[in-house]
Amino acid sequence: MPKFEVDEDVARLVERLANPKPFENLSFNNALRRVLTGLMSGELKPQVDLNELLAESMEIVAESQPKKAASPSALDWVASVPELKTKRGLTNWKAICDHLHIQTGGDSARRRLQTWVKANKPAWPPVPETGANQP
């Protein structure tokens, strides 16, 4: 029999829909069985507004999403640099740094490249900032 991993927010929603009596200790399986049986038979009249429940679940999902800004496209930047646009394999910031022999250590390759370009190749287009750093 297959086993499924269930997120905590889904388990909370099933528990709310199962509407256990005070001090009733339902397993997730029993709560889900109660909800599905009630829905299929038409007996389940949730005491919870389903629209409110959906909004709450969407809020939980939104809070769990990372707030990290996407990195700008390395390919777009390489295409704007005449000396690099004909080179193959420069598909990400680390590959560009490796090609230019820039040591990144534990820092962001894009930030290291940005500093290197300002100091060594000021005629090149500037390395773009992330969405979080742009004005």
Report yes or no on 35 lying in a domain. Answer: yes
Q: Which residue range is the domain that position 14 belongs to? A: 8-64
Q: What is the DSSP string of the chain?
A: -------HHHHHHHHHHH-PPTT----HHHHHHHHHHHHHHT----SS-HHHHHHHHHHHHHHHS--PPPPPPHHHHHHT-TTTTT-SS--SHHHHHHHTT---TTS-HHHHHHHHHHHH-TTSPPPPPPTTT--
**pLDDT, tens digit, 9 for 90 and up, residues 33-81:** 888 887 777 766 655 666 777 777 777 777 766 666 677 889 999 999 9
Number of domains in the chain: 2
**pLDDT, tens digit, 9 for 90 and up, residues 56-67:** 777 777 776 666
Residue 115 and residue 79 share a domain: yes
The pTM score is 0.49
Report yes or no on 133 lying in a domain. Answer: no
